Amino acid sequence: MRIVHAANFSYNNHGQAFGNPDQKLQHGFIENRHYCYAFPVNDIARQLSWRNSKNGGAERMNASLIETCKKIQPDVLVLGHAQLVTKQTLEEIKSELPHLKIIQWFVDPLEYQRVYQFILDRLYLLDAVFLTTGGEYLEHFNIDSCQAHFFPNPVHQSIEKYKAFQARGFDYDLIFIGNDRKDPERRELLTKLDVTLSKKFKVGIFGSLGRSGIHGKERDALFQRSKASLNLTRHKPMKWYSSDRVSQLMGNGLLTCTRKEADLHQVYGDDRLIYYTTVNDLSSQLETVINDGSWQDIAKKGWEFVHDQHNAKIVSQQMLDTVL
């Protein structure tokens, strides 16, 4: 089939976001033998604004998307966030291509309606919505003309390509990569974790608590020399929700430690991650599995599962199968 994939892609970050879900799904569509045209929504908007402003170029970007769909005649238009794309644009594309299917995927937390209101506004134009959150939050998007489905954060073998559980030398027992800017709750929890766990383990925190962040090849190198990592998601726990950090960690073979409240065991199983409730609970579990070496078995099971079940080729094709 022919697909137009209108997503953020973040090309203006010079490769820093090469492992984002946009890129993984793009590769997945192509690996399923579809022609998939990447339409970087925000970057095109910036290019079409003399001030290099995505909002300033939004109107021209929408006109460009309409023209692109007219020329390519896609079977499916896939929207990855793409908040700048208006419902008027989708209406015009639909009128030009009445048999077109439109899919929306979204990987941010659904705690505040203002975050996803743009999806609700265009819901009547969509054939399916795919979200990384389940339960009652998912039901907001179920209407007669549009299916709403949970989908897991995908991995890709060329992006998540390491196997930390096979390494022989380690710099850290536990790491966390992420920022605590404007998030006092995360900062407070990380401070407590750092104080408590550093007594027993070699802990590395990057991007929070006033410490420098880490990206690109330096982050990849860190993944290869660390045993475990925190999958610490912003906002309150929501059923099945995690940022794509979970796929980055499990996909690179680290022992992934996540809060129990999000019910991720229903997605990943009981024996492929560590699920904890308190800092002391996490400390106790880590002490056991690191000292006896069983962390490698757990991490390997997680790595095998996500690469087998949640790889981008499978996830992207399931999206298409749903609407076709």
pLDDT digits (tens, 9 = 90+) for 246-273: 999 999 999 999 999 999 999 999 999 9
Q: Radius of gyration of the chain from Cα atoms?
A: 21
Q: What angle do CA 100, 104, 108 make, to 5 degrees?
A: 170
In a domain, 316, yes or no: no
Whether residue 130 is found in the same domain as residue 250: no
Please give the tally of structural domains in the chain: 2
Whether residue 91 is found in the same domain as residue 232: no
pTM: 0.95
Name every residue whose Cβ is closer than 8 Å to that of residue 26 and which is 6 or more positions away in sequence.
5, 7, 9, 36, 38
Whether residue 300 is found in the same domain as residue 254: yes
**What pLDDT is attached to residue 165?**
98
Whether residue 81 is found in the same domain as residue 136: yes
Tell me the angle at which helices 279-292 and 184-197 cross, rounded to the nearest 10 degrees.
Answer: 40
**What pLDDT is attached to residue 7?**
98
In a domain, 314, yes or no: no
Can you tell me the distance from the alpha carbon of 26 to that of 322, in angstroms, rounded to the nearest whole number? 17
Whether residue 23 is found in the same domain as residue 129: yes
Whether residue 146 is found in the same domain as residue 268: no
Domain hosting 207: range is: 164-308
In a domain, 7, yes or no: yes
List 158's β-bridge partners, or say none.
Answer: none
Beta strands in the chain (DSSP E): 2-7, 35-40, 76-80, 101-106, 128-131, 147-150, 172-177, 203-206, 226-231, 255-259, 274-276
Whether residue 122 is found in the same domain as residue 203: no
Whether residue 296 is found in the same domain as residue 170: yes
Closest CA to 261 of 243, 275, 282: 275
CATH number of the CATH domain containing 141: 3.40.50.2000
**What pLDDT is attached to residue 167?**
96
DSSP 155: B
Q: Pick out the chain residues at pLDDT < 70.
A: none
Whether residue 133 is found in the same domain as residue 104: yes
Q: Which residue has the tokens 């990380």?
A: 190
**What pLDDT is attached to residue 15?**
85
**What pLDDT is attached to residue 18?**
87
Cβ proximity of 43 and 30 under 8 Å = no
Cβ proximity of 74 and 4 under 8 Å = yes
In a domain, 130, yes or no: yes
In a domain, 313, yes or no: no
Whether residue 46 is found in the same domain as residue 74: yes
**What pLDDT is attached to residue 156?**
98
